[in-house]
Amino acid sequence: MVYLDSLNEYLHSMGEERFLNLQLHELLTYLNQHGIVTMLVITPHGLLGNMRNPIDVTYLADTVVTLQFFEAHGAVHKAVWVIKKRIGTHERTIRELSIDGGISVGPPLVEFRGVLTGVPALVSDEDRSNRRVDEHKR
């Protein structure tokens, strides 16, 4: 296993940024051919709201797991979700992540909308009822 934390530092250490995607593709292909699992960590710019990654390498990844901070009930929380998964079923929910003495993933955050913005709003009971009706129609 190779764990590159962080891709941001790798990007800064390179002289020619324009070749980064090509070099990463070649590196990941080489490691994959040798049966090595590779994990890349990218730190987005900004903490809440519109967080942007310095480079898009999602096309190289088999799975993309995203962590996001959000504010709720006067506290900062962490959310986790999978944006991309090439093999197997895809989890589509956003869940709360806790890293206190171990890693814990909570139930889907169905009581909020806008978690990805960093400042979610509580969903009303009426909105939840309408969502259940819409899901049954599918």
Closest CA to 79 of 124, 112, 125: 112
Do 90 and 138 belong together in one domain?
yes
Do 123 and 110 belong together in one domain?
yes
Do 90 and 116 belong together in one domain?
yes
Q: Which of 46, 61, 76 is the last residue of a domain?
A: 61
Do 130 and 81 belong together in one domain?
yes
* Contacting residues for 117 by C-beta, under 8 A, at least 6 apart: 48, 49, 50, 70
Do 6 and 42 belong together in one domain?
yes
Q: Please state the φ and ψ torsions of residue 91, each to the nearest 5 degrees.
A: -75, 125
Global pTM value: 0.66
Where residue 4 falls among pLDDT bands split at 50, 70, 90? confident
Do 15 and 44 belong together in one domain?
yes
Q: To the nearest whole number, what is the mean pLDDT of the chain? A: 78
Cβ atoms of 64 and 7 closer than 8 Å: no
Do 87 and 128 belong together in one domain?
yes
Closest CA to 67 of 86, 88, 56, 53: 53
Do 52 and 114 belong together in one domain?
no
Where residue 98 falls among pLDDT bands split at 50, 70, 90? very high
**Residue 76 has what pLDDT?**
86
> What is the per-residue pLDDT across 17-59, written as a single tens digit (0 to 9) for each?
667 778 888 988 999 999 999 888 877 666 555 555 556 777 7
Residue 116 gets which letter from DSSP?
A: G
> What is the per-residue pLDDT across 49-94, written as a single tens digit (0 to 9) for each?
555 555 677 777 888 888 888 888 888 888 888 877 778 777 889 9
Do 72 and 137 belong together in one domain?
yes
pLDDT higher at 72 or 136: 72
Residue ranges making up the domain that contains 38: 1-61
> What is the per-residue pLDDT across 107-117, written as a single tens digit (0 to 9) for each?
999 988 888 77
Average pLDDT over residues 118-131: 68
Parallel, antiparallel or unpaired: strands 2-5 and 38-41:
parallel
pLDDT higher at 90 or 95: 95
* Contacting residues for 24 by C-beta, under 8 A, at least 6 apart: 57, 60
Average pLDDT over residues 2-9: 82
